Amino acid sequence: MTRLIRSVSAMQALARRFEREKRRIGVVPTMGALHEGHASLIRAARQGNDIVIVTVFVNPLQFAPQEDYRRYPRTLAKDRRLARAAGADIVFAPAADRLYPKGFQTTVKAGALGRRWEGASRSGHFDGVATVVSILFQLTRPTTAYVGQKDYQQALIIRRMAQDLRFPVTVKVLPTVREPDGVALSSRNAYLSEAERGQAAAVPEALAAGRARILSGERHAAPVIETMRRRLAGEPEARVDYVAVTDAATLEPVWRLRGRVALLVAVRIGRTRLIDNLLVDVP
């Protein structure tokens, strides 16, 4: 039976007990609305740890003023069932006023990794991510944390934050889980209409076209970006926020392609914003 914990102090006390007992703790941080992508992370945590904790917390600090924090889906009962089926021992779902009590004012800055791309489009977003994950790590005391590649920039920021703040945790980034047409699993997919959902397949197809251009011998970023933009332009509801080719480790733009690069796409289809990425090792 998966245990539900709402109390911050209860979670902290239990995690400290696990530490004293030298148990390996695997943590999967989420904002809820769990799907098969989250389940794959929970199953990976189950294989490598004695205790698996799934955190479910819709974090107000990572929502920009124009984004609807209240609209984000909250499905705790369903999330708990999925977490149990995937092998979680604990679902930690604190209330916002318990994680951020009255007088709370200290935050963590995401730094250079958080300034471009999603950081430029969503002011303060990654500072909110870095802050909440640092708190969750402090409360759950993980040996290993599991995050998905779908939110690649976020994954790199969490890994860098853990290294810089000396958290004794290994951050594992696991592959994106996709639907049969290639669309990355995301809780935001539920906002798409049937027609918009059909157009969403252009996102992974654009990434695949960019990768094919690189593997066919292209070594400059501009033609690869143009190839990806051309595919997205074919969808009537698609409005591109950015298409980029970056260094996979720093997320800085690259012009001459070498080593490992990350292809990044952010696009609005109707009112729903989708992001995706693909890592490519340049031959």
In what helix (H) or strand (E) does residue 157 lie, and over which residues does it extend? helix 152-164
In angstroms, the CA 8 to CA 140 distance is: 10
38 is a catalytic site residue:
yes
Which contacts of 155-162 are long-range, i.e. CB under 8 A and separated by 24 or more positions?
156/113, 156/249, 156/251, 157/110, 157/111, 157/113, 157/114, 157/126, 157/129, 157/130, 158/29, 158/129, 158/130, 158/133, 160/111, 160/113, 161/108, 161/110, 161/130, 161/133, 161/134, 162/137
CA Rg, the chain, in Å? 19
How far is CA 238 from each of CA 8, 149, 192, 199, 246, rounded to the nearest angstrom?
42, 23, 12, 8, 22
Helix pair angle (36-48, 76-86), 10° resolution: 40
In angstroms, the CA 77 to CA 205 distance is: 34
Given 35, 38, 125, 220, which residue is catalytic? 38
Catalytic residues: 38
